[in-house]
Structure 1
Amino acid sequence: MLLSRRNLLWAAAAGCACKCTNSVSASFAFDRVRGAGRFTATSVEEYVAYESPEGGCYLLAHEAKQASDQLTLFSSNDDKFTTGDAVLDSYLGKALVRTSKFMNVTPAFAFYDEENAQASPDINPRVAGTWGTVLFGRPLFRKEMEVQDKTGLTVIAIIAHEFAHIHQYALNLDKELLEGQPTVKRLELHADILAGFFLGARKREAPSLSMYSAGEVFNRIGDSKFTDRNHHGTPLERVSASQFGFDRGRTGDYSLDTIVKEGVNYVKDL
């Protein structure tokens, strides 16, 4: 893989400024994205939603087991995965541990061969001390690292979103947010809020860190399939939700428990 090894996931793993040329002086990336006229009817959905009866980023139990049987896994207690590059492994491992501690979750983590990322509450017995499973597609990882942001910040934004799903499952929020809903939008936007909260906290710790690419990823993964069960929210809704979390994470005045509750109210009021 032609990846930037020195800058890999540096924003999440070590806390120094990334080297993006697109700076955002105010907050996340919402104003810059909106000002660029990206929220249009022709916005391309680049994120391939996983289609299952539950919808969204949910991974069915038998699929989680089938995938993990073929892959090496990572947990916060035992580094048993590889990108094929020792330096990449080190940075990614540190970033995953940081995200795990922040979200108060310990999912097993694995790569698989799809351009997608998914989360499941199912526990993988092969990785002791974990709860839930997060899969990250190697094609998606390469695309984000090679095309979107070589510092790895977009990878971290996606990982934060999936770890947020694990936090939701641990609290049984998926049932509350999906009850009576025709789509998974509430669940997805709530995960965006938690991911934005994580990124805002990182911005508070490292003020010079540019979050432009992270705002872009929430814009890119929005869709307009309003009647599809897997509708995750429009680009504007996804950036707005992540911005809501980001603004609160940046202040340092909110706990994760508080933002979880505020996030529930936010998505229910839409």
Structure 2
Amino acid sequence: MADSEQSYLRDVQYRFPDRLKARSILHNRYGRGDWFAWLSSNIPLPLGGVIADVGCGAGSFWANAPQSVPSNLRLRLFDISQGMVDAARASIGAMQRWHDVEVSVADVAALPLADASADTTIAIHMLYHLADPASGLKEMARVTREDGVVAVVLNPAGTMAELSALARAPFGDADPRPEPLSSEQGMVLMRGEFASVDVVRYNDELRVTDPVDLLGYLGSLPIADKPGVMEKLAAAVEDAFRRSDGVFTINKASELLIGRR
């Protein structure tokens, strides 16, 4: 990860969980509602296993894991943001469900784990933040046992296109945001690192009825830090709801890529 991007993610975008929370409202309020159950049912989480969660954020996966997930897992959680690490430690500790938890600040380029020490390593919507995602995958493979798995979640190209169009509105036809690493591109990288890669797809449709929630999502994006952009985003949201009779529909998908050696 380039130093400038790492600094922005650590010190601005993900310094605290607030921006992630603003984005999660849209998914939690208007989506299928089974995201964490779906994830936990498709990611191998063996009894008593060591699970490395890279880019853990505020620990939402573990705070929302269904009771079917074994409570004797040994959790090793990492994020580049001290604020996220503090939030994850607090939320998971308050649950008193997980009893072997270590949460620490770390870069995926240098995880503080021994070779082959994790049964499962996960990276949920994280890999596209890396300047060199192939090196990130190699590091996650290093810390994972030979018979273990590395599970990565990415979005297919074009997902939530309706939302992306709104985010572009203040800039005309130009899109100031670089295209994130897609699940299709991630699959190519995964196949370069693992002998087999399975794909499980999650489809959803968000029918947003409150413009405040939609604007809250857009306002959490890096583009909203630019002067004058929030006012233009608010106008774009108002226009979108007017044209859609009060229900703004967003089609979304995510893909879980499970790599095995």
Same fold (TM over 0.5): no
As a proportion of its length, which structure holds more strand? Answer: 2
As a proportion of its length, which structure holds more helix? Answer: 1
If the length of structure 1 is used for normalisation, what is the TM-score?
Answer: 0.28
If the length of structure 2 is used for normalisation, what is the TM-score?
Answer: 0.28
